[in-house]
Structure formats: structure tokens, C-alpha cells
Amino acid sequence: MANLSQLKFAMATSIFLSAFIFSLLIFAIVIFLELDVFAGLAIAIGASALFILFQYAVGPSIVAWTTHLNYLKPGENPWLENTVKELADKAGLPMPRLATVPSNTPNAFTFGRTQGSAVLAVHEGLLRQLNQSEVRAVIAHELGHVKHKDYIVMTVLSCLPLISYYIAQVTLYAGAFSGRGRRDKDNSGAILLVIGVISYAIYILTFIIVMRLSRLREHYADAFSAYETGSPRSLSSALAKITYGLSIAPKTNSSARSFYISDPGMAKQEIASIMDNKNRYDLDNDGVLDERELELAMEKEAKSTWQQANSLFSTHPATFKRILLLREIEQEMESGQYSNDKIYRHV
């Protein structure tokens, strides 16, 4: 049985592990460059702190710039504004700044440096393709991220794997190029190759840590939405529509994929895998997968060995796993035996 303190612990440990592993990378670079050990330790800690503070400072601006936000003025979309205000007040949250994204894909996301400066953005495609109860459930999900402050942690953490990856790319290329020279008597090429390999290993480790936290926070936000709206079924329906809508949409910007309610790339993989095995899932052989058949297909695909292995590198849990969680909450609500102080028990 989960609770909010476990999410906070997961966020704290993810920050510590990622920063510690990244510090080891910087420390290894310093050692290979034969600098003083204590100076190397200071540089490692200082560089990690500097990168984290830099990402915290500029991360939200990068997200806003790359997603082409259109900030809404008061009264520009009364229904959306009133719905967000109602749910934010219910959750005891300050009203976030609202924005829309000029995209036909059904998606939404939240970002910012603090709860008070949070921005809640919805794609125009979401408002067109989902009904009001489904949009309301999506908004509650995004407010769950604001309530948990996990989007702040994701903003900070996302820079470490990226920096490790770029260090690996540069050093591997430089090492390979340097190694071709005949005058490489100081083995600088070999040293750069070793640093590159270590950097790439650090990239994989930190990326897995960040992705695990990203998936966990989605489950917590789903549970928050279910109890905030009292309608788990609305979010289930919304997730199904979003996944399908994203799967047939053109390739979209992926810079904020971990912030979205659903990852466009993962949605394409989920639906493509089901369509490849459509005949097996079409139980009545009518050429169309109805809602029940689609749910069974998603359940089986989510349990496949490939899907479970691939999930290590996924920003979001498989859609069926999210729907299954919401279904458990719905059954609990129908029984009448639940309380809002234990809303994360099914995570």
C-alpha cells in the first residue's frame, strides 16, 4: 500500500543517486586527466551542483520555448479557466498559469519552478477530441503533478543523463580521431575512449533512474485525478483516446515527452504492436477491435517480455497498467469503502 511519502522518498533517492553517479563521472574524468584528488572531488561536487542549478533555472524556459505555448488571458477560455480553478481550489493549490499548444495531438503537461509559478498547458487537440469529463480528469491529473511537485524534480534530473550522453559522444569521437594519429605517444586517445565508455555507462544508469521515477509519478497523478474528480472511468477513457490519438498523429516534439500525460513515441509503439497482431485479438472476427478486445490486447501486450524490457526506458507506464490501476480505484469507490486520506493505496 503506497502513500505520498513513498513518492517523496523516491524523488529524494533519485536525485541523490543520479547526482552521486554523475559526480563519479566527473571525478573519473579528473583522475584520468591526472589532477589532484581533492581538487577532483571538489570539481565533481561543484559541477554536479552547477548543472542541477542551471537546469532548474533554465529548464522551464526551454520547455515553454520548444512547445510553442500560447498563454491564455483571463476570460479567453472560460470553461477551461473555471474547471482548473475549481479543481485547484479543491486540492488546495494556487491557480496555475494556463496555456494552450497549437497542436492537433491530444496531450497536456505541467511545468515550472514552484507551485506558485506552475504552468498547466493543454493541446488544442485534447480539447477537441475529448469530452468535458475526460478533459476534467486530465486537468486533475496535471494538478496532481503540481500537488506532488514531481515536475520540479523531473526538470532538475533530466539534465544529468543528457550531459553524460553528450560527454560520451564527444570523448568517443575525439578518442577515435586522436587514436588515428601516429604521434599519440601519451595515450590521450585511449584515455578519451575510456572516459567515453564510462560516460555512456553513466548515461544508461542515470537514464534508467530518471525513467523509473517518471513512470512512478504518473501512477500517483492518475490516482490523484481519480479521487479528485470522483470519476476514474473518465481518466481511463481519456487515456485510451489519448494513446490512440497520439499513435496516428505525425511525429511531434519530444523535448518535453516526460512531462506529457502520455508519451507520443510510446503510444505509437503500443498501438503498432497491437495492430501487428490484430487477427489474434479480433475475437469475433469482424475486422474491428471493439473496446473489450482492445483492452484485452493492451493487457496481453503489457505483459509481453519485450514490453516489460522496453518499459525500463519508458517515460510512462503502459496504458493498460494505468487503466488497471484506475479500474481498481473505481471498484473501491463502487463498494463505498474508501477514504481520501488513502488515495494512493493502489499505486
Q: 316 — phi, psi (to 5°)? A: -130, 155
Distance in angstroms (rounded) separating the CA atoms of residues 90 and 158: 30
- Joined grid coordinates for residue 65: 520555448
Q: How many Å separate Cα 76 from the centre of its chain?
A: 29
Q: Is 142 a catalytic residue?
A: yes
Residue 109's H or E segment, with its range, is: strand 108-111
Q: Contact 151/111 with Cβ under 8 angstroms?
A: yes
The DSSP-derived string for 153-177 is HHHHHTHHHHHHHHHHHHHHHHHHH
- CA 109, 78, 227 angle in degrees (round to 5)? 50
Nearest of 267, 275, 216 to residue 242 by alpha carbon: 267
Q: C-alpha 106: how far from its chain's center?
A: 16
Instruction: Say if residue 44 is exposed, middle or buried (CB neighbours under 10 Å; 0-12, 13-18, 19+).
Output: buried
How many Å is the Cα radius of gyration of the chain? 22
Q: Of residues 142, 218, 301, 332, which has the active-site annotation?
A: 142
What's the angle, vertex CA 240, arms to CA 237 and CA 243, rounded to 5?
145
Query: Distance between CA 48 and CA 242 in Å, rounded?
Result: 37
DSSP SS3 for 267: helix
Pairing mode, if any, of strands 108-111 and 119-123? antiparallel
As a whole number of angstroms, the distance between CA 274 and CA 272 comes to 5
**Active site residues per annotation:** 142
